[in-house]
């Protein structure tokens, strides 16, 4: 779907927003790009959507070189902080942008009503967008991005300003869209969100992708078991486990066979085991680790 | 389809800003007032006969009635209503089209669609102009019907006002668009366009004034030379008959005065040329909106009719229909009449290419800069 190699963007005024970004989005997956504010996520998305010109770019988008306008017919885009003309109604918004994307009138009519109801905007289609709430505008924006029946959906902060119920609905919708065979490229700074829905993620810090892969594989190394005991941890434990504290033993492994002998030995020593937990680093830990490596967030000036 | 979408969008944007409809409303009102003027056997009736004025010349069927009626259109309605008031209203209602268009958050939505930026820019520009054209067209249609009903002349040349006013407006709108996309502010665009318009107006007025003075000096020099020739001829004749005729010193004095006048005029001409030449060059490369509007007079005027524009500028000769016989071609009055005639001929002889062509080149340059910026910009 998307293959990018070595994308560079230097804004006028010498902001080096992207410093050699490479990433790949496969067919039919939800790909999340995460990073702190100012990391360059929106910049990357805008380059894909031809909204800004990259200083250097190579790669393909739907098998065509980046910058080809024709393929935009097959891509849906929701920009960050989008603003619809205040004088349009929800339905008119959908028709207007779909017409610009060369969607036939017949398709526009059927899709508009189907997406409006799918995004829970029934009853609002004939109201001016000026009266919409932030969450509704966001949904309308997603509906707008879907009007051309895209193979690839590019969403910049799709859940920005949406309440928890709405977020959940959007997440479910994204999963449905993936199941329909569309690829979704979304970017967000809300980690829990991505964790729940993304098949693969890339972490971007200061204009560089520092990690990329499935959440599973990225957190592989950090898997461990934690054993909590009521009494103090016995002294022999120091030799067999990786980390000990007063009531806690940590074994860095995701293989349950390794902890069985340790549990046997604790039982033999009459130590009360309060809990045995398989622990996996979550996206937040991973993210903090990535950001820490490169100290303060923000682009290089 | 994309063009149609932009067209519908521009329509919705303009009609959401009530001013568009207010302008249409005022236009209709102006047309109705115009249509309320009529002619009968006795004279003119105004406001559908509320007020009747008896007149010998102006009654139904007289060529003067036709001249007056069309003259009101080409001199007042076009020059004051279309070229000033309606243009200002149109600028106010269209000045924010481009700033809104490139507003961050909405431009991304449009520009990420499968449509080239250049095409997008010019479509948007044309669409905005189209609505101004539509307004003028509605107005002209009304006028056309009024003229047809009132003086029985179905004059298709009235519709030439549509392209003329559209061209005139497009010079200003190009500047408005350029400023609008550079600053993303409708008010700034409007103000700077206003300043630009005033600058154009000053250039055109000063060129006109200077041109009048320069032409006046040329005419004077010519006429004084003529006077010298005549005086010398007369002098020779008299001298041949008698060397001490009492008129000889008078003629000599006269020649002397003419020579002094010529010198004075030439000196003045030198000074004036210094200003006139650069200003006429500036005018040559800037849009000539007054002259563009003036084209309408050329196309609508009826050589046998009644020229209201000429009456306003104080030239009665076209009404009297014949040239005034000049007894002494060197008097101030004679020179002034000649100057006025030459100026009129001068402006009327300026080709369509000079008036519209150079103005359009200016417009293209402005649009070129604006579209280049639009295509290159990182939104
Ligand atoms: N139009 C622009 N001109 C100059 N600098 C910009 C522009 N847009 C973004 N930037 C800078 O580029 C960096 C990346 O911004 P952005 O891509 O919006 O980050 P993110 O979406 O990850 O929060 C920031 O430092 C921002 O200030
Ligand atoms: Mg962003």
Q: What ipTM is given for this predicted complex?
A: 0.83
Average confidence (pLDDT) over B200-219: 91
Helix (H, G, I), strand (E, B) or coil at B154: coil
The single residue listed with the structure tokens 């300043």 is B195
Residue B55 in this model has a pLDDT that exceeds 80: no
* Interface contacts (A, B; CB < 8 Å): 84
* pLDDT tens digits along A20-53: 999 999 998 999 998 888 899 999 999 999 999 9
Separation in Å, CA of B100 to nearest CA in chain A: 8
Q: Which CATH superfamily is domain A2-218 in?
A: P-loop containing nucleotide triphosphate hydrolases (3.40.50.300)
Q: Ligand 1: distance of its center to the CA of A160 in Å?
A: 17
* pLDDT tens digits along A208-248: 998 888 888 887 777 888 899 888 888 888 888 888 888 88
Handedness of CA B320, B323, B326, B330 (dihedral sign): positive
Helix (H, G, I), strand (E, B) or coil at B45: strand
Residue B172 in this model has a pLDDT that exceeds 80: yes
Residue-level pLDDT at A140:
94
Residue nearest to atom 8 of ligand 1 (CA): A43
Separation in Å, CA of A99 to nearest CA in chain B: 6
Average confidence (pLDDT) over B156-176: 91
Per-residue 3-state assignment (H helix, E strand, C coil) for chain A: CEEEEEEEEEECCCEEEEEEEEEEECCCCEEEEECCCCCCHHHHHHHHCCCCCCCEEEEEECCEECCCCHHHHHEEEECCCCCCCCCCEHHHHHHHHHHHCCCCHHHHHHHHHHHHHHCCCCCCCCCEHHHCCHHHHHHHHHHHHHCCCCCEEEEECCCCCCCHHHHHHHHHHHHHHHHCCCEEEEEECCHHHHHHHCCEEEEEECCEEEEEEEHHHHHHHHCEEEEEECCCCCCCHHHHCCEECCCEEEECCCCHHHHHHHHHHHHHCCCCEEEEEEECCCHHHHHHHHHHHCCCCCCEC
Closest residue in chain A to residue B113, using alpha carbons only:
A101
Q: Ligand 1: distance of its center to the CA of A191 in Å?
A: 20
Q: Ligand 1: distance of its center to the CA of A298 in Å?
A: 9
Residue, of B262 and A193, whose pLDDT is higher:
B262
Average confidence (pLDDT) over B54-67: 74
> Which residue in the set B100, B108, B114 is minimally distant from A69, CB to CB?
B114
Residue-level pLDDT at A293:
64
**pTM here?**
0.85
Parts of chain A belonging to CATH 3.40.50.300: 2-218
Residue-level pLDDT at A231:
87
Give the C-alpha separation, B4 to A294, whole Å: 50
Q: Ligand 1: distance of its center to the CA of A31 in Å?
A: 21
Atom of ligand 1 nearest to the CA of A80: 21
Token output for B139: 């107005």
Helix (H, G, I), strand (E, B) or coil at B53: strand
- How much of chain B exceeds pLDDT 90, in percent? 40
Atom of ligand 1 nearest to the CA of A9: 12
* pLDDT tens digits along A104-131: 999 999 999 999 998 888 889 899 999 9
Give the C-alpha separation, A170 to A181, whole Å: 17
Average confidence (pLDDT) over A1-14: 89
Interface contact B100-A82, CB threshold 8 A: no
Residues of B in contact with A88 (CB under 8 A): 9, 12
> Cβ(A36) to ligand 1 under 6 A?
no
Average confidence (pLDDT) over B98-111: 93
Interface test with B, best of A7, A45, A51, A141 (most B CBs within 10 A): A51
User: Which of A37, A299, A300, A301 maximizes ligand 1 atoms within 8 Å of its Cβ, making it the mutation to test the pocket?
Assistant: A299
User: Which of A9, A39, A40, A49 maximizes ligand 1 atoms within 8 Å of its Cβ, making it the mutation to test the pocket?
Assistant: A40
Residue nearest to atom 21 of ligand 1 (CA): A42
Give the C-alpha separation, A83 to B316, whole Å: 61
* pLDDT tens digits along B256-311: 998 999 999 999 999 999 999 999 898 888 888 888 888 877 777 655 555 555 55
Listed by start position, the domains of chain B span: 2-376
Residues of A in contact with B100 (CB under 8 A): 85
Q: Residues lining ligand 2 (ion), CB within 5 A? A: A 41-42, 80
> Which residue in the set A53, A86, A101 is minimally distant from B378, CB to CB?
A53
Residue B321 in this model has a pLDDT that exceeds 50: no
Average confidence (pLDDT) over A276-289: 81
B20 within 8 A of A92, measured Cβ to Cβ: no
Residue A297 in this model has a pLDDT that exceeds 50: no
Say which range, A172-186, B97-111, B303-317, B344-358, has the weakest mean pLDDT.
Answer: B303-317
Residues of A in contact with B379 (CB under 8 A): 46, 51-52
Separation in Å, CA of A62 to nearest CA in chain B: 14
> Cβ(A40) to ligand 1 under 6 A?
yes
> Cβ(A13) to ligand 1 under 6 A?
yes
Residue nearest to atom 20 of ligand 1 (CA): A38
User: Which of A9, A16, A17, A206 maximizes ligand 1 atoms within 8 Å of its Cβ, making it the mutation to test the pocket?
Assistant: A17
Residue B17 in this model has a pLDDT that exceeds 70: yes
Residue-level pLDDT at B324:
56
Give the C-alpha separation, B195 to B192, whole Å: 5
Closest residue in chain A to residue B120, using alpha carbons only:
A100
Residue-level pLDDT at B230:
87
Average confidence (pLDDT) over A95-99: 95
Quickly state the pLDDT bin for B107 (edges 50, 70, 90).
very high
Provide the mean pLDDT of chain A.
88
Quickly state the pLDDT bin for A301 (edges 50, 70, 90).
very low
DSSP B286-327: S--HHHHHHHHHHHH--TTS--HHHHHTT--HHHH-SPPPPS
> Which residue in the set A12, A72, A81 is minimally distant from B105, CB to CB?
A81
* Of A293, A298, A291, nearest in space to A38 by CA: A298
Interface contact A86-B16, CB threshold 8 A: yes
> Cβ(A42) to ligand 1 under 6 A?
yes
Separation in Å, CA of A156 to nearest CA in chain B: 11
Separation in Å, CA of B67 to nearest CA in chain A: 46
Interface contact B9-A85, CB threshold 8 A: yes
Atom of ligand 1 nearest to the CA of A301: 25
B248-285 vs B358-376: helix crossing angle, rounded to 10 = 20
Interface contact B1-A99, CB threshold 8 A: yes
């Amino acid at each position: 779907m998307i293959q990018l190699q070595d994308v560079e963007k230097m804004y006028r005024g010498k902001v080096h927003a992207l410093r050699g970004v490479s990433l790949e989005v496969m067919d039919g997956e939800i790909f999340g790009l995460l990073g702190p504010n100012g990391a360059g996520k929106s910049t990357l998305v805008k380059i894909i959507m031809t909204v800004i010109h990259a200083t250097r770019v190579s790669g393909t988008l739907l098998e065509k070189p980046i910058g080809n306008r024709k393929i935009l017919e097959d891509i849906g885009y929701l920009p960050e902080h989008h603003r619809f003309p205040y004088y349009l109604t929800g339905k008119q918004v959908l028709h207007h942008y779909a017409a610009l994307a060369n969607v036939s009138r017949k398709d526009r009519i059927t899709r508009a009503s189907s997406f409006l109801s799918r995004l829970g905007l029934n009853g609002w289609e004939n109201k001016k967008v000026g009266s919409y709430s932030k969450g509704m505008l966001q949904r309308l924006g997603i509906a707008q991005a879907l009007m051309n029946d895209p193979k690839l959906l590019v969403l910049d902060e799709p859940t920005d300003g949406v309440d928890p119920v709405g977020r959940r609905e959007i997440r479910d919708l994204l999963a449905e869209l993936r199941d329909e065979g569309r690829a979704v490229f979304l970017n967000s700074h809300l980690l829990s969100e991505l964790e729940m829905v993304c098949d693969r993620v890339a972490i971007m810090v200061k204009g560089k992708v520092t990690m990329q892969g499935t959440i599973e594989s990225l957190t592989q190394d950090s898997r461990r078991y934690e054993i909590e005991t009521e009494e103090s941890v016995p002294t022999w434990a120091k030799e067999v486990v990786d980390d000990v504290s007063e009531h806690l033993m940590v074994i860095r492994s995701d293989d349950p066979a390794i902890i069985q002998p340790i549990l046997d030995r604790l039982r033999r020593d009459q130590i009360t085991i309060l809990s045995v937990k398989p622990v996996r680093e979550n996206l937040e830990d991973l993210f903090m680790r990535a950001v820490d490596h490169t100290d303060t967030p923000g682009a290089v000036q | 389809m994309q063009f149609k979408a932009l067209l519908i969008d521009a329509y919705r944007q303009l009609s959401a800003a009530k001013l568009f409809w207010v302008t249409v409303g005022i236009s209709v009102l102006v047309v109705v007032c115009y249509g309320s003027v009529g002619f009968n056997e006795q004279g003119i009736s105004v406001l559908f006969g509320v007020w009747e004025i008896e007149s010998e010349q102006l009654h139904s069927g007289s060529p003067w009635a036709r001249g007056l009626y069309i003259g009101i259109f080409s001199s007042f309605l076009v020059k004051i209503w279309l070229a000033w008031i309606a243009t200002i209203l149109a600028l106010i209602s269209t000045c924010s089209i481009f700033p809104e268009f490139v507003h961050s958050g909405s431009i991304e939505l449009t520009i990420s669609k499968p449509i080239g930026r250049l095409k997008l820019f010019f479509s948007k520009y044309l669409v905005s102009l189209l609505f101004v054209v539509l307004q003028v067209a509605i107005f002209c249609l009304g006028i056309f019907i009024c003229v047809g009903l009132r003086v029985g002349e179905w004059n298709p040349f009235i519709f030439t006002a549509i392209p003329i006013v559209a061209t005139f407006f497009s010079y200003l709108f190009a500047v408005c668009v350029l400023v609008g996309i550079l600053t993303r502010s409708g008010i700034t665009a409007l103000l700077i366009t206003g300043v630009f318009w005033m600058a154009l107006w000053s250039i055109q007025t000063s060129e006109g004034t200077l041109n009048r003075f320069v032409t006046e000096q040329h005419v004077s020099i010519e006429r004084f030379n003529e006077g010298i020739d005549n005086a010398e001829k007369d002098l020779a004749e008299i001298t041949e008959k008698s060397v001490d005729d009492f008129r000889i010193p008078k003629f000599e004095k006269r020649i002397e005065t003419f020579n002094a006048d010529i010198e004075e005029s030439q000196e003045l001409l030198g000074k004036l040329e210094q200003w006139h030449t650069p200003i006429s060059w500036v005018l040559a490369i800037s849009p000539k909106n007054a002259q563009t509007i003036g084209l309408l007079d050329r196309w609508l005027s009826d050589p046998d009719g009644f020229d209201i524009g000429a009456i306003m500028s104080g030239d009665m000769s076209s009404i009297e229909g014949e040239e005034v016989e000049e007894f002494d071609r060197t008097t101030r009055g004679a020179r002034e009449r000649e100057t006025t005639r030459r100026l009129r001929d001068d402006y009327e002889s300026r080709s369509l290419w000079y008036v519209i062509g150079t103005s359009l080149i200016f417009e293209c340059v402005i649009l070129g800069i604006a579209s280049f910026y639009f295509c290159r910009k990182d939104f």
